[in-house]
Structure 1
């Protein structure tokens, strides 16, 4: 393993050398979603063969004991007898309504918008962090800019299958060589505008063995960041956090390099805590590792995240 100094120098280099600032204009708010062109969407639609649909989201259940399902905080309050409350009388028909509150930046499956992270006071495309993140919301970079949806070709790279394992062990840092080897094994090439999903088996391992006592998990090495930039990936999704834990660097500023470099420098949107077990099983059964991804964020102005239910269609 490289020293902390080497990792830190590499990540500082990535922040500069992998940057997409200005690539799509000085006022760009979409980042890598610009890579999802009309032609990319049309080509993605052509991958559909039998219409099989697979959700890539965990449940949102405040009553669940599974931390992936109840998230950092989910509130739900039901109002019964809605008809009587509205009309002042009851009838044979009735309805309920509810209030739902979610902190999406947690263990729930969620989309990270470009306003989520900053570095040295700057967010993606050079926007000042003080403008991007205010108590009243993100004034420059928010998830509502993705109002056209993230509809593109999805590609799953199955790293445990590559290594002949049911899952990766906690602390396994997926390397760029492993990503390329998975491409060769599966006969698929990650291309511009793709949504790349990297399967680690984190959730399958937790289901079988329980959570790691220190919270360690498999994830991507910071060394994969040039691969993501070279291939012009539009969205990155992992079953868990994208970074490997424990972190490759013990320096606090460099503990989350995938988030920092992707969101701030590259403008690469992230899908955290994606549910990929069923997707991996479906891809294996069909021997088909590409699919149409449909991810439709809410048009939440000023929000830097969104709990989402992405769907893969085969």
Structure 2
């Protein structure tokens, strides 16, 4: 691990960018790569009809893994049968009783999509939008445009944990685009342009094993920045990066000391949509059994006005 921190301004000064590629007002970035042709081709991958919803449970009795500065979701019961125990209980014609509850959560405190404007540096969001447009709510590059269009395409599961012969990757363990390609070759699946990448580390299993100690010296495993990796994402026209970790990349880059470099290099600069905290265990087990790693993927985050992210329950079909 380096002892110095390289500013993002310097680190990414020559990094590839898709700003302006889809016009000055674009708010969905590389998701533009997923058009009708990609949707129709992805539908052709459905053969067995097996369905895998890959959202992690919200308000899990065993705990909800979240970014360290966030709190897990809290569900509160508002109405239940006990409501009708009192004399002042509501009355409905015919004798109807009902349950009602509410949830308080960070919009990015569960399986979720990031808005493209979720992170930035040098006062500019995705596509050059002014960072001041985030004040009080995201006027530009919020999660709503992603929710309005939805995300459908061919996805490839890259099981990095099995590829490395581990139950789960270790804290701060890194991998590159070359590792992704090698994993795909071993699995016998072709990576193609405009593929959605599903990457399994099973790292969050550690959260359920060690509890609060999970957050000590917090540094998740994941992709690590290089100019070559970012160029590969640009050349492959990757629309969506989906992983089972909280932040999709190694938390602190061991080579430059910066935090979440790829959030900026891929999401801010290239417009790659980030989907995080997915549950890939059932899917990965099935893929290991039948050897089929290319799947139909569909997702639509909640339509939250000016939101910096939104919960989602993506659907994978084989």
TM bracket, shorter-chain basis: 0.7 to 0.9
Match of 1:279 among 277, 283, 295: 283
- State whether residues 252 and 260 of structure 2, in contact with CA within 8 Å, keep that contact through their aligned partners in structure 1: no
- State whether residues 14 and 226 of structure 1, in contact with CA within 8 Å, keep that contact through their aligned partners in structure 2: no
Cα deviation, residue 187, structure 1: 2.3
1:1-314 correspondence to structure 2 within 5 Å: 8=6, 12=10, 14=12, 16-61=14-59, 64-68=61-65, 72-80=71-79, 88-89=91-92, 91-106=94-109, 108-131=110-133, 133-135=134-136, 137-146=137-146, 147-207=148-208, 212=214, 213-223=216-226, 224-240=229-245, 241-249=247-255, 251=257, 254-314=258-318
Cα deviation, residue 208, structure 1: 5.0
Between the aligned partners of 2:197 and 2:3, the Cα distance in structure 1 is: 28
Q: Deviations over 1:95-144 (max 9, x none)?
A: 223332320223x211111121111100000000111x121x11111111
- State whether residues 243 and 278 of structure 2, in contact with CA within 8 Å, keep that contact through their aligned partners in structure 1: yes
- State whether residues 249 and 255 of structure 1, in contact with CA within 8 Å, keep that contact through their aligned partners in structure 2: no
Q: Deviations over 1:37-74 (max 9, x none)?
A: 1000000110011111112111001x624232897242
- In the TM superposition, structure 1's runs of 4+ consecutive aligned residues that sit over 6 Å from their partners are 81-87
- State whether residues 144 and 301 of structure 1, in contact with CA within 8 Å, keep that contact through their aligned partners in structure 2: yes
Cα deviation, residue 313, structure 1: 0.6
Between the aligned partners of 1:52 and 1:197, the Cα distance in structure 2 is: 17
Cα deviation, residue 246, structure 1: 4.6
Structure 2, unmatched stretches of 5+, are none
Q: Deviations over 1:146-182 (max 9, x none)?
A: 2121111111111222223332222211122211101
Cα deviation, residue 206, structure 1: 4.3
Structure 1, unmatched stretches of 5+, are none
Between the aligned partners of 1:8 and 1:199, the Cα distance in structure 2 is: 29
SS at match of 2:199: strand
Cα deviation, residue 203, structure 1: 2.4
- State whether residues 4 and 248 of structure 1, in contact with CA within 8 Å, keep that contact through their aligned partners in structure 2: no
SS at match of 2:197: strand
Between the aligned partners of 2:282 and 2:53, the Cα distance in structure 1 is: 8
Cα deviation, residue 199, structure 1: 1.4
> Aligned residue pairs: how many?
306
Cα deviation, residue 193, structure 1: 2.6
Specify which structure has the higher proportion of helix. 1
SS at match of 1:103: coil
Please say which of residues 78-87 and 108-117 is displaced more in the overlay: 78-87
Between the aligned partners of 1:229 and 1:8, the Cα distance in structure 2 is: 23
